[in-house]
Amino acid sequence: MTNVMVDFGRTPLTPGTGAAYADIRTPIPAPKRLTDMTLTSVVFPIWAAFWLYWLIAALGAKQSVRRSRFRPPGLLVIVGIVLLRVFKTGTLAVNNPAIQVVGLMLFASGLAVAVWARIYLGRNWGMPMTERAEPELVTSGPYRFVRHPIYSGLLLALLGTALATNLYWLIAVVIIGAYFVYSATIEERTMTTSFGTAYPSYKARTKMLIPFVL
């Protein structure tokens, strides 16, 4: 009796006894790396949790005596909708792992700075261009380095979002950044009136948004 062995999934390169075999089995794809996975499902839920914390923390703030019409969360949502509707955002999706890692680090650092500043500001916190009753001038914590660290942190987190997910979010950085500069300018006029000579002295030794730069 002749023993016959059938090798499924392989076919001889040339007919005949003892012929070499070529492997025609479908290759099993390697597991996806973390950097190959979309980071949108990670970054944007964190943004949602951040804004939820922000809203809850606002419940303990002092009463406003003057409110603003536009608010950053709403403005950010509007910018996001425009980006998704008008542009083909997939064309600038970030696929470079090194850039994504840098983006995640900036994103986390930015949110941390914003929360740090919010904690130091305490009950004096208010939405942009609002005025609180009985305001206090806070110059400790991150306020030692810049006068508007919450704005700085949010812009840094937005920049990180762009680098980690899609470069189209750089448009949001520019739009929100312009809004924050305008808001900071208006707020500083109000604080100069409220705190007299104390605020100009504080302003002279700090920068608006970026330490030692701007």
Q: What is the CATH number of the domain that holds 183?
A: 1.20.120.1630
108 lies in which domain range? 34-204
Within a domain: 43: yes
Mean pLDDT score, 52-68: 73
C-alpha 33 chain-centroid distance: 22
Residue 33 above 80 pLDDT? no
Q: How far apart are CA 193 and CA 200, in angstroms?
A: 10
Within a domain: 157: yes
Domains identified in the chain, total number: 1
**pLDDT range class, residue 125, cuts 50, 70, 90:** confident
Residue 132, helix vs strand vs coil: strand
Within a domain: 64: yes
Within a domain: 7: no
Within a domain: 118: yes
Residue 108 above 80 pLDDT? yes
User: pTM (2 decimals)?
Assistant: 0.74
Within a domain: 22: no
Within a domain: 163: yes
Q: How far apart are CA 121 and CA 115, in angstroms?
A: 10
Q: At how many degrees (to 10) do helices 40-57 and 149-164 cross? A: 160
